[in-house]
Structure 1
Amino acid sequence: MDTNLNAYAVGHLHEVAMGPQIVEYLERIDATLAPYGGRFLVHGARAEVREGNWAGDLIIIGFPDLARARAWYDSPEYQAIIPLRADNSRGDILIVDGCGADHAATDVLA
C-alpha cells in the first residue's frame, strides 16, 4: 500500500464508446493529474469477479489527500476534458477519502 496516497477518485464506467473524443480524453488526463499528485492505481484492467456481477471498467486514481483530489476534479484543466468522457460513456465517478494504515474493520462501529 502506498501510504502517500490517502484519497481516491474512483470511476466505474459501464459503457464506453471508444472514438476520437475518448482518445483525446486519455491523451490529456495525465497532465491534469500531475499538479495534484494524482496517479493511476487501476486503469483498464479486467476484474476477476469472485462474487456477484460486474460489468464495465474500474478506474482508481490515488491522491495525497482529499483536498488535492477535489482540487483536481474541480480544476479548469480537468473540467475542460470531462465532456470528452461524459458524452461518450455511462458510469459513476466518486471522490473518496482513504483510511489510515492502522484502520481496523471494527473502527466503523464507533
Structure 2
Amino acid sequence: MTAYAIAHLRPTDGPVPEEVFVYMERIQETFAPYGGEFLVHGTTAEVREGEWPGALVMIGFPGMPEARAWYDSPSYQALLPLRTAHIPGDLILVDGVPPNYDAAKTAARYRAAERYRAAERH
C-alpha cells in the first residue's frame, strides 16, 4: 500500500537562506533509493476551506516501511537541519488507502462500532 510523506511548510519573510536551496537540490537523492517520488512540490494550493499558509510537499513511497526508512536514513537526517533551521513546518508519514477502497464500507464499520459503544454505555 502506498505511503506518503506530507509536509506543510510555512516560509518566513525575508531572503531565502542558501541552506534552503542546498536542501532543495539534495532532497530528491535522499528518497530515490527508497522508491520515493515527488507528487506535489512547488505549486500553489487553491484553498477552498479554512486557511493554508505556506506550501505543501507530498512524496509518495511504495509503502510505510520505505517512508520510515527514508525519514530515518542518515542521508536525510543530515540534510534535514538545513530546512528546519529556516522554514517552520509539520511533516507526517501516512498510509494511503488500498486498491478499490470504499468509503461507504468504512462508514458502515464506524457506524457499527459506534452503535456497539453506545449500547455498552447504557
TM-score w.r.t. length of structure 2: 0.81
Q: Note if 1:93 corresponds to 2:94.
A: no
Unpaired runs of at least 5, structure 1: none
Unpaired runs of at least 5, structure 2: 110-122
Q: Note if 1:46 corresponds to 2:29.
A: no
CA distance in 2, matches of 1:45, 1:36: 24
Partner residue in 2 for 1:106: 104
Q: Note if 1:29 corresponds to 2:9.
A: no
Deviating beyond 4 angstroms after TM superposition, the runs of 4 or more aligned structure 1 residues are none
CA distance in 1, matches of 2:105, 2:41: 29
Computing the radius of gyration from Cα coordinates, the structure with the larger value is 2
Question: Identity percentage over the alignment?
Answer: 50
CA distance in 1, matches of 2:5, 2:80: 14
Aligned residues: 106
Partner residue in 1 for 2:114: none
The DSSP-based 3-state class of the residue aligned with 1:80 is helix
Deviations 1:16-74 (A, max 9, x none): 56220001101111110111000000001000112222111000000000000000000
Partner residue in 1 for 2:113: none
Which amino acid in 2 is paired with 1:105? A
Of 6, 11, 18, the match for 2:7: 11
* Aligned-pair Cα RMSD in Å: 1.4
TM-score w.r.t. length of structure 1: 0.89
The structure with the greater share of residues assigned to strand is 1
